[in-house]
Chains A and B, each alone.
Chain A
Amino acid sequence: MSAPGNAMDSLSAALKCNIIPNQEYLLQGSVLDQYVEVLLHRLRGLCDNVDSGPESFHDHELCFSLRIANTGATTPMSVFSLRVRRALDVSDTPYQLRYIGQQELGDKNRPTVVRSSIDMACSSTIVDFLTELGCRVDFEYIARGYMFRKGRMKITVSKIFKMGGNKPGETVEPISQSYLVELSVLAPSGQDAIAEDMRIFAEQLRPLVQLEKIDYKRLGNIM
Chain B
Amino acid sequence: MSYSVNISVEATIENQIQEIQYDGTEIYQPPLTLSESLAKYAQKIDFSKTSEVDIKKEESSEDSKSDTDSKDAFQSSIWPWDSVRTKLRSSLQEICVLADVLAIAKEKRYLVLDPVQQEPLETKPMVQIYARKKALGGAANVLLAGAEKMKNSQTEAARNRTTLDFHIELLRLRQNWRLKKVSNTIIGDLSYRTTGSKYLQTGTFEVTKAEDEEKPSSPPSSPLPGGPIPSKPNSALRVSIPTELQGVAYIEVLCQKDQEDLCSVNLNLMGTAPPPSNPDMHWQQKLEAAQNVLFCKELFNQLAKEAVQLQAPIPHMVVGNQIMATVLPGIQLIIGLRHSTSGDKKQQTPPPSKSDHDHVLEHSLHQLLREVHHKNTHHPFPHPATGPLGPSKKRMLAGPLAADRHELLEMTKTQTLLEQIVQQAQHFIMRMRTEYVLDTIAKEVKDPLISSHWNTLNSPTHSCVKIHISTHGYDAVCRTPLIIHVGEKSLKCICRDGKVMNMSYEPQELRDLIFCHISQHQIVAVQALAKTMGWQALGNSNHLGTGAVEPLGNSSSCLLSSPTGDRIIAVRCEPQAGPQVSVAHSPRTDFFPSRLVTERKWEHLGGQFRDVRLDKMEGRNFLHKMELLMASLTSNS
**Which of A11-19, A89-97, A127-135, A194-202 faces chain B?**
A89-97
Any A CB within 8 A of the CB of B22: yes
Partner of A86, one of B381, B384, B397: B384
* Known A-B contacts A149-B389, A154-B389, A207-B22; A122 and B381 likewise in contact (beta carbons under 8 Å): no
Contact of B384 among A21, A96, A152 (CB under 8 A): A96
Select which of B385, B389, B400 is within 8 A of A94 by beta carbon: B400
A92 to B401, CA, bound (A): 10
Most buried by B among A96, A98, A147: A96
Interface residues of A in 35-76 (CB under 8 A from B): 48-49, 55, 57, 59, 61
Task: Tell me whether A209 is interfacial, beta carbon within 8 Å.
Answer: no
Q: Which residues of the partner chain B approach A158 to less than 8 Å between Cβ atoms? A: 385
Contact of B75 with A by CB under 8 A:
no
- Kindly provide the distance from the CB of A27 to the nearest chain B CB, expressed in whole angstroms: 15
Chain B, interface size category, equals 10 to 19
| Pairwise interchain contact B386-A85, C-beta atoms closer than 8 A | yes
Q: Say whether, besides A122-B399, A123-B400, A96 and B387 are in contact (CB < 8 Å).
A: yes
Is there contact, CB below 8 Å, between B381 and A93? no
A158 to B399 Cα, complex, angstroms = 27
Of the candidates B385, B389, B399, the one whose C-beta lies within 8 Å of that of A152 is B389
Interface residues in A93-124 by Cβ distance below 8 A to B read: 93-96, 98, 119-124
Q: Which residues of chain B come closer than 8 Å to A82, judged between CB atoms?
A: none
Q: Residue on A with the closest CB to B195?
A: A49
A59 to B384, Cβ gap below 8 A?
Answer: yes
| Chain B residue at minimal CB-CB distance from A146 | B385
Kindly list chain A residues whose C-beta atoms are within 8 Å of the C-beta of B400.
Answer: 94-95, 121-124
Set of chain B residues within 8 Å of A207, measured between Cβ atoms:
22
State whether A49 touches B383 (Cβ < 8 A): no
Residues of A145-195 contacting chain B, CB below 8 A: 145, 147, 149, 152, 154, 156, 158, 186
Residue on A nearest B391 in the bound complex, by CB: A121
Residue of B22, B377, B388, B393 near A119 (CB, 8 A) is B388
Residue of A nearest to B398 (CB): A121
A90 to B401, CA, bound (A): 17
* In the complex, chain A residues whose CB is within 8 Å of the CB of B382: 96
Q: Is B501 an interface residue (CB 8 A)?
A: no
- When the two chains form their complex, are residues A149 and B383 in contact, meaning their CB atoms are under 8 A apart? no
Q: Is the CB of A57 within 8 A of B385?
A: yes
Cβ of B378: which chain A residues have Cβ within 8 Å of it?
Answer: 49
**CB within 8 Å for A90 and B383 given contacts A21-B388, A154-B389, A207-B22:** yes
- A214 at the binding interface (Cβ < 8 Å): no
Helix, strand, loop or mixed for chain B's interface?
loop
Cβ 8 A contact of B386, one of A48, A96, A145 = A96
Q: In chain B, residues 347-401, which have Cβ atoms closer than 8 Å to a Cβ of chain A?
A: 377-379, 381-389, 393, 396-397, 399-401
* A196 CB → nearest B CB, Å: 19
Task: Collect the chain B residues with CB atoms within 8 Å of residue A93's CB.
Answer: 383-384, 393, 396-397
Give complex CA distance A191, B149 in Å: 62
Q: Are B381 and A147 in contact (CB under 8 A)?
A: yes
Q: Are A120 and B377 in contact (CB under 8 A)?
A: no
B397 near A94: Cβ-Cβ < 8 Å: yes
Known: A143-B385, A154-B389. A121 touches B399 (CB 8 A): yes
Contact A98 B396 (CB under 8 A): no
A208 adjacent to chain B (CB < 8 Å) = no
A192 to chain B, nearest CB (A): 19
Residues of B within 8 A of A154 (CB): 389
Evaluate whether A57 and B377 lie within 8 angstroms (CB atoms) in the complex, with A94-B396, A122-B399 already known.
no
Does A137 belong to the interface (CB within 8 Å)?
A: no
Residues A186 and B385 in contact, CB atoms below 8 Å apart: no
Contacting pair A87 B383 (CB below 8 A): yes
Report B-chain residues with C-beta under 8 Å of the C-beta of A147: 381, 385
B388 touches A94 (CB 8 A): no
> Most chain-B CB neighbours within 10 Å: which of A55, A120, A121?
A121
CA distance A88 to B397 in the complex (A): 16
Q: Which residues of chain B in 121-155 are interfacial with respect to chain A, using CB atoms and an 8 Å cutoff? A: none
Bound CA span A122–B385, Å:
15
Q: Taking the nearest CB of chain B, how far is it from the CB of A18, in angstroms?
A: 16
Given contacts A48-B377, A149-B379, contact A156 B385 (CB under 8 A): yes
**Residues from chain B with Cβ under 8 Å of A89 in the complex:** 383
Q: Report chain A residues within 8 Å CB of B22.
A: 207
CB within 8 A of A121: which of B385, B389, B397?
B397
Select from chain B the residue with minimum beta-carbon distance to A206: B22
Chain B residues with Cβ below 8 Å from A186 are 388-389
- Of A59, A94, A154, A156, the most chain B CB neighbours within 10 A belong to A94
Residues of chain A contacted by B385 (CB below 8 angstroms): 57, 59, 85, 87, 143, 145, 147, 156, 158
Chain B positions 379-435 with a Cβ under 8 Å from a chain A Cβ: 379, 381-389, 393, 396-397, 399-401
A121 to chain B: which residues have CB within 8 Å? 387, 396-397, 399-400
B469 CB → nearest A CB, Å: 48
Distance (whole angstroms) from the CB of A23 to the closest CB of chain B: 12
Cα distance, A158 to B386, chains bound together (Å): 12
Contact partners of B401 in chain A: CB under 8 A: 94, 123
Specify the chain B residue showing the minimal Cβ separation from A94: B400
The answer for the CA separation of A91 and B77 in the assembled complex, in Å, is 129
Across-interface contacts of A55 in B (CB, < 8 A):
381
Are A85 and B388 in contact, CB atoms less than 8 angstroms apart?
A: no
Complex-state Cα separation, A92 to B398, whole angstroms: 12
How far, in whole Å, are A158 and B393 apart by their CA atoms in the complex? 22
**Nearest CB in chain A: distance from B378 CB, A:** 6
How many angstroms between the C-alpha atoms of A53 and B22 in the bound complex?
A: 32
Complex Cα spacing A87 to B386, Å: 10
Decide if B393 touches A149 in the complex (CB within 8 Å). Answer: no
B179 nearest CB across to chain A (Å): 16
Alpha-carbon separation in the docked complex, A119 to B387 (Å): 7
- Would A49 and B384 be within 8 Å (CB), given that A94-B399, A95-B400, A149-B389 are in contact? no
Cα distance, A124 to B397, chains bound together (Å): 12
A123 to B22, CA, bound (A): 49
A61 contacts across to B, CB distance below 8 A: 384, 386
CB-defined contacts of A98 to chain B, threshold 8 Å:
386
| Chain A CB within 10 Å, residue with most, of B22, B385, B393 | B385
**A191 → B minimal CB distance (Å):** 14
**Interfacial chain A residues near B397, Cβ < 8 Å:** 92-94, 121
Q: Which residues of A contact B384 (CB under 8 A)?
A: 57, 59, 61, 85-87, 93, 95-96
Q: Looking at B382, B393, B397, which has the most chain A CB atoms within 10 Å of its CB?
A: B382
State the CA gap A93–B396 with chains docked (Å).
8
CB neighbours of A49 from chain B (8 A): 377-379
Determine how close the nearest CB of chain A comes to the CB of B366; give it in whole angstroms: 20
A143-B386 Cα distance, complex, nearest whole Å: 11
Which residues of chain A are within 8 angstroms of B388 by Cβ–Cβ distance?
Answer: 21, 119, 186
Which residues of chain B (588-630) have a CB below 8 Å from chain A?
Answer: none
Smallest beta-carbon distance A163→chain B, Å: 16
Residue of A nearest to B399 (CB): A121
Interface positions of A (Cβ within 8 A of B)? 21, 48-49, 55, 57, 59, 61, 83, 85-87, 89-90, 92-96, 98, 119-124, 143, 145, 147, 149, 152, 154, 156, 158, 186, 207
* 19 A–B pairs (Cβ distance < 8 Å), ordered by A: A21-B388, A57-B385, A59-B383, A83-B386, A85-B384, A87-B384, A92-B397, A93-B384, A96-B384, A96-B386, A119-B388, A121-B387, A121-B400, A124-B400, A145-B385, A147-B381, A149-B389, A158-B385, A186-B388
Given A49-B378, A121-B396, A147-B381, output 10 extra A-B contacts at Cβ < 8 Å: A49-B377, A61-B386, A87-B384, A92-B397, A94-B396, A121-B387, A123-B401, A124-B400, A152-B389, A186-B389
Closest 4 CB pairs of A and B: A87-B383, A59-B384, A85-B384, A123-B400
